A and B are shown apart, each in its own frame.
Chain A
Amino acid sequence: MSFDDPEQELQHFRSRLLVAGGFMLVCFALLVARFGWLQINRFDYYHTRAEDNRIALVPISPNRGLIVDRDGEVLARNYAAYTLEIAPTHFRQADALFDQLASVVEITPRDRRRFSKILDESRNFDSVPIRIRLTDEEVARFVARRFEFEGVEVKARLFRDYPNGSLASHVIGYIGRINERDLERIDARDETANYRGTEHIGKVGLEQSYEDELHGVTGFEEVEVDAGGRAVRQLRRTPPTSGNNLVLTLDRGLQRVAENAFNGRRGALVAIEPATGGVLALVSSPTFNPNLFVDGISTQDWNALNTSPDHPLLNRALASANPPGSTFKPFMALAALTTGKRTPEQAISDPGYFDFGGHRFRDDKVGGHGVVDMYKSIAFSCNTYYYRLAADLGIEQIAGFMDGFGLGSRTGVDLEGESSGVLPSPEWKRTRFRRVEQQKWFAGETISVGIGQGYNAYTPIQLASAVATLAADGVRFRPHLVRYVEDVRTGARRVIEPEPLTRLPLAREHVDFIKRAMEGVNLEGTGRRAFKGAGYRVAGKTGTAQVFSLRGATYREKQIRERLRDHSLYVAFAPVDKPAIALAVLVENGGFGSQAAAPIARQVLDYYLLGIEPDEPALPDEEASDEFEPTPAAGAAQ
């Protein structure tokens, strides 16, 4: 097979080329034969079939499933309305057609813009809406003159509606028109047939993550069409199967109270039922109105949402990872008890700082907290206690313990777009940084990690899940929003079973001690102003996260000062002896945890446990401070 002679090689190549040419001709001959068979031999048959191809298969899109809260209150529903549509093959001059139509129905410039936008993105031969939500009068006017408009049809379509407006928009998400990317996804799942006739698809939130459940199965009818393509007579019908309803664990009333408590301030709140992992409320503030997206959002609305420095489209509860601040301390204390590094009684004398490796780590409180045992360290949030504890535990032990609570990894909640956050460890640093000198873990970094600062970064849902795990004595469930999926026709329910992810090996007395100390936070410590006179036993912990940098949009000068304030955090669960709700609150740039986040938690817990409706949003308590002292005489808060 080796050719040493180029001439021989050339000869051989030419013979191969002839073989290939022959092969090509045979293949093309085969094709031409096939064309001849179809177009000449069987012409009569196919000609008749095309003539008879008055029988069109028209897909009937299924009703999309509803989304309701745990008590059956509707969060997303459908309503029927008439639309005016045209198949793209039926016109050549959009403008002329529109001018002509304008004499029959009202057509706004926005309708024109939307039409040309949808036409550009349109798939194959779907008809394109000209006007949506026609009034009965307009339908009557058009039908009377419809012969003037070839190919234009009135269709009854279902529209998605979110009756509560912006309430829980980050949970529910929204649907939007199917675009090229959605199409590829549909095609890859081999669902193209099932999406014929469907115009919308879940884009964000539960609408997206439960698309398969909500969509249903497309039916079709065989109809006879006239020469213009209009249906004249129905021949056969395979009905569609409606999508399944989603029944959530979410409590609409609680969600509303929680959202109102924020009053538009930037932040997030996640409330979880500790015994199941069911999410009771999930707030990301500010929020947006999902109804804007259903028919294609207008450019102004989109720009307003997209360029707002408050980033209303960002789901902070899932995607915004921040240092937990002092809310980290109960977990640190539990780690100390579990590993045997501390007993509750062991006390330190706090001079107000901790020297380590030539660096002085300061406490918030100038002069220190005096003699501090574990209870006091949590109730009054003493940093020095945890600087020393962090040094004793070491970073590996801290990271190992916190990992059990799910900190620094996605919780697996049934929504997309979750961040994993950062559970700092030497190993994380090695993989995170490229330059060798940045990869080394410094012992000093452990000290800041010990008080919830430094590289620590957790999402609100991670914090809420960790607190719920603590409340459930170490049993961690996968947080989830959907309680069960309901088949509309049969009423059959598919319950999403609570899934215990881990059972942490914690000693009963250790957990009880931490819970008692967290209750102390609200009785006499940093949370006592916010929880004064609460009619239930509540465990909590304030936290303040340092803000290092500004990212994202450009800010005006006045806003910069506001955005350099610390983030306010608060975690809590109640009632202490039999926890029914655990939550985490983040208020961006809210200052101390006790100032902004704790009052929000109070309103939410009051509503959930006692049914108290708040009269006004949770006002920030500017007097409060995480340095609050037990004896009023010593209270020199800044």
Chain B
Amino acid sequence: MTGRRFDLRRALVGLLEPLDPILLVLLCLLLGYSFTLMASASPARMESQMINSAVAVVVMWVTARLPIQRILALALPVYLIGVLLLVAVAVFGETSKGAQRWLNIGVARIQPSEIMKIAVPLMLAWYFHHREGAVNARDFVAAGILLVIPVGLIVRQPDLGTALLVAAAGFFVLFFAGLSWKLIAPVAVAGIVGIGTIVGFGDRICQPEVDWVVLHGYQKNRVCTLLDPTSDPLGKGFHIIQSTIAIGSGGLAGKGWRDGTQTHLAFIPERHTDFIFAVLGEEFGFVGACLLVFMYIALITRGFVIAMAAPALSSRLLAGAVTMIFFTYAFVNMGMVSGILPVVGVPLPFISYGGTALVTLCLGLGILMSVQRARLTTQKT
């Protein structure tokens, strides 16, 4: 009898062995928060979100068990397949009047741009891994090209939100690999000047006859809506107006779970997906919002610690970039819902309803755990 109990315990330990306990605890807290909000915002979707979470956790466990070298070895094929799929989308993809994002593979429709959120940093980390010890300026050019190809294809779909996320993920690898400040600074300055122009001259450049050359009409609309939400009260402007009211009226401690009037009188659109943070702000107030921000900071800090201690250049870059992906998601989403960034379709990581993003994020967690395991094993030996 004792032998059997011993086996059971060992099995349990074996099951948890590949998982980083700190990340695991943080994930559980975030998912718990998510379910709490879901029970208020959209109880009918609880069940399917639990299934999504289960799938995502399995993906994370499988990834975490893989040695990091194995994961890195997948970089090139996954990247190439991803790029090929993006090309396939451009050629055969289902155009739904204007945007071509989906590829129908018979059984299901897939969105290859989602794969690239992980595949791009993986590929770049793999590239620098092969150049370890001899990285020079030319490598940054090559890595830049590897980054620009998928981002360009996604921009062309057009899907600016995803393109920005993929570009950010790739950029962080370059940044951690030591991209010169001389190159970063001008881009940052240009960005600040550009945003300044839009904010400063919003009235003039939002006139309908002004064509924004690089951006599509609907993207222009989203930026203009941010500047003047009342210009589109039934559409995107409505989202921003109502989510700001929801957050603001939450006050310090919130109106209480399931007592959000904005939420329950149905003023918040997409309240279980991209705008779930408005529900949080309304029902749990400033305290609840800061709690979430704190959870993210803890998650990101843990990611940085893992990156800092990683034994090889490639896993350092990968861990750093993956961690920054979490940051980008969280910042862009909360910024959008609270009205300081334009509306782009980015979910709140680990909180929003939806399986695809959750699986991608948990894949990222799995990679971090795999990096961490590699360090533990090297220490033991």
A positions within 8 Å CB-CB of B = 1-4, 6, 9-10, 12-14, 16-17, 20-21, 24-25, 27-28, 30-32, 34-36, 38-40, 42-43, 45-47, 49-51, 53, 56-57, 59, 87-89, 92, 119-120, 124-125, 181, 184-185, 188-190, 192-193, 196, 218, 220, 225, 229
B positions within 8 Å CB-CB of A = 42-44, 96-99, 102, 133-137, 172, 175-176, 178, 180, 217-218, 221, 232-236, 238, 244-252, 261-272, 281-282, 285-286, 289-290, 293, 296-297, 300-301, 304, 307-308, 313, 316, 320, 324, 327, 331, 334-335, 338-340
Partner of B234, one of A40, A185, A218: A218
Contacts of A46 in B (CB 8 A): 244-245, 247-249
Beyond A3-B133, A4-B133, A124-B269, whether A38 also contacts B334 by CB under 8 A is no
Contacts of A124 in B (CB 8 A): 269-272
Bound-complex Cα distance A34 to B282 (A)? 14
Q: Cβ of B133 and Cβ of A28 under 8 Å apart?
A: no
Partner of B98, one of A3, A27, A39, A188: A188
Q: Cβ of B135 and Cβ of A3 under 8 Å apart?
A: yes
With both beta carbons as reference points, the residue of chain A lying nearest to B246 in the complex is identified as A50
Q: Cβ of B286 and Cβ of A35 under 8 Å apart?
A: yes
Bound-complex Cα distance A2 to B133 (A)? 8
- Least distance between A117 CB and chain B CB atoms (Å): 12
- List 4 extra interface pairs beyond A20-B176, A53-B265, A196-B234, CB under 8 A: A21-B300, A35-B290, A38-B281, A53-B262
- Least distance between B54 CB and chain A CB atoms (Å): 19
- Least distance between A330 CB and chain B CB atoms (Å): 38
26 contacts between A and B (CB under 8 A): A6-B133, A6-B313, A10-B316, A13-B176, A13-B178, A14-B308, A20-B320, A21-B301, A24-B300, A25-B297, A30-B340, A36-B286, A38-B247, A38-B281, A39-B247, A39-B248, A46-B248, A56-B265, A124-B272, A184-B96, A189-B96, A189-B97, A190-B98, A190-B221, A196-B234, A225-B265
Beyond A21-B304, A50-B261, whether A185 also contacts B249 by CB under 8 A is no
Contacts of A20 in B (CB 8 A): 172, 175-176, 304, 320, 324
Q: Cβ of B290 and Cβ of A32 under 8 Å apart?
A: yes
Beyond A3-B178, A24-B300, whether A125 also contacts B266 by CB under 8 A is yes
Partner of A1, one of B180, B267, B296, B334: B180
Contacts of B340 in A (CB 8 A): 30-31, 34
Q: Cβ of A50 and Cβ of B98 under 8 Å apart?
A: no
Bound-complex Cα distance A220 to B232 (A)? 12
Partner of A31, one of B248, B293, B300: B293
- Least distance between A6 CB and chain B CB atoms (Å): 7
Q: List 7 A-B pairs, minimum CB-CB distance, nearest first.
A: A46-B248, A193-B235, A50-B249, A125-B266, A188-B99, A38-B248, A185-B96
Q: Cβ of A47 and Cβ of B313 under 8 Å apart?
A: no
With both beta carbons as reference points, the residue of chain B lying nearest to A24 in the complex is identified as B327
Q: Cβ of B296 and Cβ of A45 under 8 Å apart?
A: no
Contacts of B308 in A (CB 8 A): 13-14, 17
Bound-complex Cα distance A203 to B244 (A)? 36
With both beta carbons as reference points, the residue of chain A lying nearest to B133 in the complex is identified as A4
- Least distance between B292 CB and chain A CB atoms (Å): 10
Q: Which of A20, A28, A34, A35 has the most CB of B within 10 A?
A: A35
Q: Cβ of B286 and Cβ of A40 under 8 Å apart?
A: yes
Contacts of A51 in B (CB 8 A): 249, 261
Partner of B338, one of A35, A119, A189: A35
- Least distance between A11 CB and chain B CB atoms (Å): 11
- Least distance between B183 CB and chain A CB atoms (Å): 10
Contacts of B272 in A (CB 8 A): 124
Q: Which of B236, B249, B327 has the most CB of A within 10 A?
A: B249
Q: Cβ of A2 and Cβ of B135 under 8 Å apart?
A: yes
Q: Cβ of A1 and Cβ of B135 under 8 Å apart?
A: yes
Q: Cβ of A35 and Cβ of B281 under 8 Å apart?
A: yes
With both beta carbons as reference points, the residue of chain A lying nearest to B270 in the complex is identified as A124
Contacts of A185 in B (CB 8 A): 96-97
Partner of B251, one of A4, A6, A40, A89: A40
- Least distance between B330 CB and chain A CB atoms (Å): 8
- Least distance between A92 CB and chain B CB atoms (Å): 6
Partner of A28, one of B96, B232, B293: B293
Contacts of B271 in A (CB 8 A): 124-125
- Least distance between B190 CB and chain A CB atoms (Å): 17
Bound-complex Cα distance A192 to B251 (A)? 31
Contacts of A21 in B (CB 8 A): 300-301, 304
Contacts of A13 in B (CB 8 A): 176, 178, 308, 313, 316, 320
Contacts of B172 in A (CB 8 A): 20
- Least distance between B325 CB and chain A CB atoms (Å): 12
Contacts of B238 in A (CB 8 A): 57, 193
Contacts of A39 in B (CB 8 A): 247-248, 250-252, 281, 285-286, 289
Contacts of B98 in A (CB 8 A): 188-190
Bound-complex Cα distance A544 to B172 (A)? 68
Contacts of B265 in A (CB 8 A): 53, 56, 225, 229
With both beta carbons as reference points, the residue of chain A lying nearest to B260 in the complex is identified as A50
- Least distance between B27 CB and chain A CB atoms (Å): 19
Bound-complex Cα distance A229 to B263 (A)? 11
With both beta carbons as reference points, the residue of chain A lying nearest to B313 in the complex is identified as A9
With both beta carbons as reference points, the residue of chain B lying nearest to A30 in the complex is identified as B340
Q: Cβ of A47 and Cβ of B175 under 8 Å apart?
A: no
Q: Cβ of B234 and Cβ of A59 under 8 Å apart?
A: yes
- Least distance between B191 CB and chain A CB atoms (Å): 13
- Least distance between A118 CB and chain B CB atoms (Å): 11
- Least distance between B176 CB and chain A CB atoms (Å): 5
Bound-complex Cα distance A45 to B244 (A)? 11
Bound-complex Cα distance A181 to B269 (A)? 18
- Least distance between B257 CB and chain A CB atoms (Å): 14
With both beta carbons as reference points, the residue of chain A lying nearest to B253 in the complex is identified as A39
Contacts of B97 in A (CB 8 A): 185, 188-189
- Least distance between B260 CB and chain A CB atoms (Å): 9
Bound-complex Cα distance A225 to B246 (A)? 17
Contacts of B285 in A (CB 8 A): 39
